[in-house]
Amino acid sequence: MGGIIADNSSAPQELRWESIAELAAQVRSGKTKAADLVEKSLAQIAKLEEYKAIIATTAERARERAKQIDAKVANGEDPGRLAGVPFIAKDNFLVFGADTTAASNILKGFDAPYQSAVIKKLEAEGAICVAKANLDAFAHGASTENSDFFTTLNPHDKTRVPGGSSGGSAASVALGIAPFALGTDTGGSTRQPGSFVGIVGYKPTYGLMSRSGIVAMASSLDTVGTFARNIDDASLVIDVMAGKDELDSTTIDRDTMGYADVQGDLTGKKIGIIKEYMGEGLADDVREQIEQAIAKMREAGAEVTEVSLPSISLALAVYYILCPAEVSSNLSRFDGQRYGYAYADAANLDESYTKSREIGFGKEAKRRIMIGTYVLSSGYYDAYYKKAQTVRTKLIQEAEAAFKQVDFLIGPVAPTTAFKIGENANNPLAMYLADVMTVAINLIGVPAVSIPCGVSGENGLPVGLQLIAPQHKDRALLELAKATEEIL
Partner 1 sequence: MTKLTRDDVLRLAQLARISLNDDEATEFTDELSAILQYVEQLSGVDVSGLKPTNQVTGLTNVMRTDEVKDYGYAPSDLLKNVPKTEANQLKVKRMIG
Cβ of residue 482: shortest distance to partner 1, in angstroms? 26
Options 76-84, 235-243, 371-379, 453-461: segment touching partner 1 (CB under 8 A): 371-379
Among the residue ranges 148-156, 268-276, 332-340, 473-481, the one whose residues contact partner 1 (CB under 8 A): 332-340
56 contacts partner 1 (rule: CB under 8 A): no
**One-letter amino acid for residue 182 of the chain:** L
> Phi-psi category of 99—alpha, beta or left, where left has phi over 0 and alpha has psi -120 to 50?
beta
Long-range contacts of 117-120 (CB under 8 A, 24+ apart): 117/209, 117/210, 117/211, 117/212, 117/213, 117/245, 117/247, 117/248, 118/93, 118/182, 118/209, 118/210, 118/213, 118/214, 118/224, 118/241, 119/89, 119/93, 119/94, 119/95, 119/182, 119/213
In terms of residues, how long is the chain?
488
Cα–Cα distance between 112 and 95 in angstroms, integer? 6
Instruction: Report d(CA 448, CA 277) in Å as an integer.
Output: 15
C-beta of 453: minimal distance to partner 1 in Å? 28
State yes or no: is 189 an active-site residue.
Answer: yes
Q: Are 398 and 265 contacting, i.e. CB atoms less than 8 angstroms apart?
A: no
Catalytic choice (104, 147, 165, 166): 165
CA distance 420 to 34: 38
17, 180, 202, 206: which one binds partner 1 (CB under 8 A): 206
- Is 143 part of the annotated catalytic residue set? no
- Segment near partner 1 (CB under 8 A); pick from 36-44, 60-68, 259-267, 424-432: 424-432
- Concerning whether 356 is annotated as a catalytic residue, the answer is no
C-alpha 366: how far from chain center? 23
> Does the protein bind partner 1 through residue 432 (CB under 8 A)?
yes
Indicate which single residue of 56, 260, 283, 342 sits in contact with partner 1 (rule: CB under 8 A): 342
The nearer residue to partner 1, 18 or 248, going by C-beta atoms, is 248
The whole-angstrom separation of Cα 201 and Cα 306 is 24
Phi, psi of 127 (to 5 degrees): -70, 155
Strands 86-90, 128-133: pairing is parallel
In the bound state with partner 1, the residue whose beta carbon lies nearer, of 70 and 123, is 123
From 20-28, 152-160, 171-179, 391-399, span contacting partner 1 (CB under 8 A): 391-399
**In the window 433-472, what residues touch partner 1 (CB under 8 A)?**
444-445, 471
For the CB of residue 319, give the shortest distance to partner 1 in the complex, in Å. Answer: 9
Q: Indicate the residue among 196 and 320 with the shorter CB distance to partner 1.
A: 320
Name which of 90 and 355 has its Cβ closer to partner 1. Answer: 355
Does residue 204 belong to the site contacting partner 1 (CB under 8 A)?
A: no
387 scored as a contact of partner 1 (CB under 8 A): yes
- The count of residues interacting with partner 1 (CB under 8 A) is 67
Distance of CA 203 to the CA centre of its chain: 7
**Using CB under 8 A, which residues numbered 344 to 363 contact partner 1?**
346, 348-350, 352-355, 357-358, 361, 363
- Cβ of 72: how many Cβ atoms within 10 Å? 18
Nearer to partner 1, 115 or 456 (CB): 115
Q: What angle do CA 24, 25, 31 make, to 5 degrees?
A: 100
Catalytic entry in 90, 121, 203, 355: 90
Strand partners, 245: 248
Please list every residue from 237 through 276 that binds partner 1, using CB under 8 A: 246, 249-250, 252
Q: Is 124 in the site for partner 1 (CB under 8 A)?
A: no
User: What span, in angstroms and rounded, lies between the C-alpha atoms of 462 and 195?
Assistant: 7
Chain CA centroid to CA 294, Å: 24
β-bridge partners, 88 = 131, 181
Counting contacts by CB under 8 A, is residue 389 touching partner 1?
yes
> Where on the chain is the footprint of partner 1 (CB under 8 A)?
109-111, 113-114, 206-207, 220, 246, 249-250, 252, 311, 314, 317-318, 320-321, 328, 332, 335-340, 342, 346, 348-350, 352-355, 357-358, 361, 363, 366-367, 369-371, 373-375, 377, 383-384, 386-394, 396-397, 428-429, 432, 444-445, 471
Active site residues: 90, 165, 189
